Amino acid sequence: MNQDQQEKVRQLVEVLDHALSTAGCGVLDALNAVSVMSTSLAHSMNLAKDEYMGNLEMMFDMTNPQKQAIVQEEDENE
């Protein structure tokens, strides 16, 4: 391999190294974005679950005669 060919190979290796490095950073950024989105989704799901459970509890309280009697007694005491 002559001097000119060696220089071209060295330049190609530098270009490929830079391209792979840049692609690697892109992949890491994408993985980070997925991580942030999954954390946000998990938080939203927890909020939705809490709201759903609160609504279920309220519906149960409204249909539970014992709970209704306690609420009526508290209302009368006020």
| SS3 sequence of the chain | CCHHHHHHHHHHHHHHHHHHHHHHHHHHHHHHHHHHHHHHHHHHHHHHHHHHHHHHHHHHHHHCHHHHHHHHHHHHHC
Q: When comparing pLDDT for 18 and 48, which is higher?
A: 48
pTM, two decimals, is 0.49
Residue 37: which pLDDT band, with cuts at 50, 70 and 90?
very high
